[in-house]
Amino acid sequence: MNDLEHDLRELFEQRASGVDAPGLAPNDVLRRGRRRQVGTVVTGVLACLVALGVAAAAIGQARHPNVIPGERNGLPARTTSIGGVPVTAPAGWTLVDDYPLAAVLGTSQQTCSFSATGAAVGANGSPVQGSPSPGEGGAAGNGASASGQSCTQESTSLDTSLPFFQLANFSLPLTRTPCKTDLNGPVTVPDDGVAVYVGLFPAGTSRGTLESSCASADLFRYGEVPGTSGAVLAAVAIEGPNATQNDHVVAEDFVDSFEPGNVTLPRPTEGAGPGYVLASGSAGDTAWRLEAGITSLGASGGSPRVGAIMVTTTASRIEARSVDLPTQHVAEDAVDLGNGSVLRFGTAAVDVAAISIDLPSGGAIPAIMFPWSAQGIPDLPNSDDSIWFALAPKRGNVRATYRSAPTGVPTATPVTGELNTKIRSGDGFVVSGHDLGHDWRLDYSGGPRLELFLDGSNEPVGSLPYLIGNETQIDVEGGTFLISLRDPTVTSFEVTTGVTEADQQPSTRIDGGWQRIQDDAGDDGRIWVVPLPGSGTGLEQANADLPSFVSWPAAPPLRIGSMLNTGNDGVVSWALTWQDDHCIILRTDGADPGDSGMSPCLHPATSSKAEVQLVDGATRSTVALAVSHRPPTAITSSDLANGALQCVDIDIESTFAGTTICVFPVADGQRVAIHLDQTGGQPIGPVIVSKDGLSTSVRGSGSATETSSAAAPSG
Amino acid sequence: MATDSPTVDGRIRVEPDSGTMAELYTRYVPAGIRLAYLLTGDRHQAEDLAHEAFVRCVGRFQHLRAHTAFDAYLRRAIVNLHMSGLRRRRTEREWLRREGPRAAAAVTTQRDVGAREDLWEALSTLPSRQRAALVLRYYEDLSERDAAEALGCSLSALKSLVARGSDALRASLSTYAPEGDDR
């Protein structure tokens, strides 16, 4: 122990002992701990973050009525049926599906008000035993009930109306309509605007009521809905003073075709809220529509969430499945349409440029993506997320393509430069690219680690601490990603492949792509990403510094050229490379080319005999010493500076198992004695290596050789 | 001593019991405060840091595979919080400088006038990671590997931090003659 280390230990002890730490936990700390623990157990940190993000989105949606996905984005014409009412939205028009509100309002008031047959239905949608149907007389007509479970269909307590859907040639918010409803106040129709409102009004609603409910309404068509005891379903068109004739005709055609007497009210889907209809279609006997909207109202607890909703309708049932806006990458779901086709849909994060469905038989079906235009929503982490769908003959695999710039590629004409990066609100960022046959992304979400994801997966394939100085290799199919966090002085970072004879490919330089960062400790630097194809060996080099050996893949099994240990002494870099079960080779790469080379085979040591091989360089020799560590052997030298003796235990299944290999430099004119103190075994004398000019001698106890490489026999 | 409930998915789950937490606090937090003090040089900041780390560790305790490792998690959390709070504290220091000695006196600790004051002052000038590396090695007496783990860096990075920190201290204090090249 040197003086400084000794003084530091004493200083730390002295200072720390002077700290008067409370022995008992303060109550406020216990309270905070308890809150944190309960919160973590119940929801999990990630779930909290997701909920907060989507809640902010949903709340922001309500507060910012201009946030309309699909607005003026060239949506195609969509034909669907909402609340039992067929509707076709012309291309570019906004169509809002409000019918899910019927489940919420109906649940809190009169569930069976919307039953197609008038039979009461329970929460699970099954008919309630004993409830009267319209055909059974009085109960349905006068609201009397035979039992406590029967419905009182005529006594809907809607003060104004329940919206089914809205069709407009302008932006409409999800939570407002042109008419008075039980939601919010009516939205103002622009001068050139045309809107059609379809909703259920209380029994007895007259044209005068409709006029007062829907100001500036020009066209009306309304009537009682069968089985609702007089509830009035109305279609009302409201037009601005400067509406075009074409738009007027759209509204007029709809109102003219509207037949409330023919409407059969379906059971509304539960859980989801209103949504914008983005696309629609049918396959076999299933009609479907894709919506962007509120995936959960949070009525039964939790916060509202937003995302994609797929509504499918058959003759017997209507079903809605939803996928929330993703926290990262791609989120997806599938609906089997039953005719040999599968409807894939979901959401995609901001950096996803395209999605396709890769089919098992080959080929791919491109997905259609709709931007979720969310600018202006405060606190929304991803403001440019997308909603997508694809109709595929098979389920296949969802593949995402990220907005990226190429990083290094394994060619002789490397591509370098700044990596594509997206900064998230808060601390996070995403660096992405396409290499080694993968769409990859390095994701930093504010935690202690930087994580690598591939091909839209939500499971990281590897990570490293987000601190300058860290480096890792992550093996993937097709090669290995070398990721290094370097200080800002590093302006070039590359790997030159093919340093061993085992490499099949000719030597190639692969330049790293980079991005400026500030790490977890606040230090500036750069992320470097080098895609290393297949398997191989190489020298990595930052700026013009001394290169370091590297081999990949990092994971076993061993291959010829696999590096068991690497290091440098500031002047020479070295690597112990696997050749075969009886041979490990020491390779060196020196600042002075005369120090570069490779040693003869280093053979396994025995408990009574150490082995030595070396690269006899121009300015120094680099020596590899193999010693058995069965029994344990202390390997020390007073001739070497701290850290100059670098050792690795080899425990891989081979004849080298149980061997420790140490590497150390011997400068010209230097004599280094290595002491081997075996615990309980046969004593092994010191190994002495001396370099004098062009000659390096190795001496073991009781023997001496004058050679550039030698075995050191036991004493 | 924490009471372990049955394992869930191979993980030990600790119920949110304040008695258990109080025991954990008594057992581990005082040492955490001392560590935080050596990292920050400020007694009040050290207490806040250790308490925040304790709250976070307790909150995540059901994820620990063995609560006997609580001290290691707490140590890691203290170091991480110290590091991640650097930017904010940098800003605070700027504020203190602007506000002058009156404001500064309100938050700095009483100075220890004992021996090695010069070494203590020199330590305060080190980059925080170097200082943390020295504290983990020479106060916590961690192995290089464990210290690297606590700092969230590689073994070589840890060695480099210790070496650079030591060199900087030697360079700033005439009492310590620089050592020879140890690399």
How does residue A165 score in pLDDT terms, banded at 50, 70 and 90? very high
> What pLDDT was estimated at residue A645?
92
* A401: nearest Cα among A455, A480, A337: A455
Q: Kindly provide the ipTM of the predicted complex, given to two decimals.
A: 0.77
Cα A97 from Cα A81, distance rounded (Å): 10
Stretch 492-521 of chain A: residues touching chain B, C-beta under 8 Å: 520-521
Report the pLDDT value the prediction gives residue A410, as an integer from 0 to 100: 30
Partner B contacted by A1 (CB < 8 A)? no
- Give the range with max mean pLDDT: A8-12, A43-47, B14-18, B95-99: A8-12
pLDDT tens digits for A526-548?
A: 899 998 888 888 899 998 888 99
Longest C-alpha distance within chain A, in Å? Answer: 118
Whole-angstrom distance between the N-terminal and C-terminal Cα of chain A?
Answer: 31
SS3 content of chain B, % helix, strand, coil (to 5): 70, 5, 25
Sheet of strand A646-650: strand arrangement: A646-650, A659-667, A620-628, A610-616, A711-712
Query: Searching chain B, which residue's CA lies closest to the CA of residue A664?
Result: B183
Note which residues in 40-59 of chain A have CB less than 8 A from chain B: 40-41, 45
Q: Helices B117-124 and B155-172: crossing angle, nearest 10°? A: 130
3-state class (DSSP) for residue B61: helix
CA distance A490 to A488: 5
Of A172-176, A200-204, A607-611, B113-117, minimum mean pLDDT range: B113-117
CA closest to B28 among chain A residues: A23
Query: For the residues A693-706, what does the mean pLDDT come to?
Result: 63
The phi and psi torsions of A3 (rounded to 5 degrees) equal -60, -45
Q: A547-574: per-residue pLDDT in tens?
A: 999 988 888 777 778 888 999 988 999 9
pTM as predicted: 0.40
Distance in angstroms (rounded) separating the CA atoms of residues A404 and A394: 28
Q: For residues A300 and B84, which has the higher predicted lDDT (pLDDT)?
A: B84
Phi and psi angles of residue A293, each rounded to the nearest 5 degrees, phi first: -170, -155
Gyration radius of chain B's alpha carbons: 19
| Residues 567-586 of chain A whose Cβ lies under 8 A from any Cβ of chain B | 569-570
pLDDT at A613: 92
Cβ <8 Å between A470 and B154? yes
pLDDT at residue B60 in the model: 60
Split at pLDDT 50, 70, 90, the class of A60 is: very low
pLDDT tens for residues A412-421?
233 346 788 7
Predicted pLDDT at A529: 92
pLDDT over threshold 60, residue B175: yes
A252, HSE (Cβ side, Cα atoms, 13 Å): 8
Q: Is the pLDDT of residue B116 over 60?
A: yes
Task: Output the pLDDT for position B84.
Answer: 67
Is pLDDT above 50 for A374? no
The pLDDT score that the predictor gives to residue A708 is 42
> Can you give the pLDDT at residue B61?
58
- Comparing CB atoms, the residue among B30, B58, B83 nearest residue A36 is B58
Q: Does A18 touch chain B (CB under 8 A)?
A: yes
Top pLDDT among A79 and B22 is at: A79
Question: What pLDDT is recorded for position A473?
Answer: 94
Q: Do B170 and A39 touch (CB under 8 A)?
A: no
pLDDT band of residue A221 (cuts 50, 70, 90) is confident
Nearest to A40 among B62, B160, B179 (CB): B62
CB-based contact B59 A33, cutoff 8 Å: yes
How big is chain A by its Cα radius of gyration, in Å?
Answer: 37
Q: Cβ of A37 and B166 within 8 Å? A: no
Query: What backbone phi and psi angles, to 5 degrees, belong to A581?
Result: -65, -15
pLDDT tens-digit map of A620-652? 999 999 998 888 888 989 999 888 999 998 887
Q: Tens digits of per-residue pLDDT, A16-27?
A: 888 887 777 888
Question: How high is the pLDDT of residue A114?
Answer: 29
Rounded distance between C-alpha atoms, residue A42 and residue A35, angstroms? 11
Q: Give the range with max mean pLDDT: A267-271, A439-443, A508-512, A604-608.
A: A439-443
**What's the rounded Cα separation, in Å, for the pair A456 and A476?**
14
Q: What is the pLDDT of residue A503?
A: 63
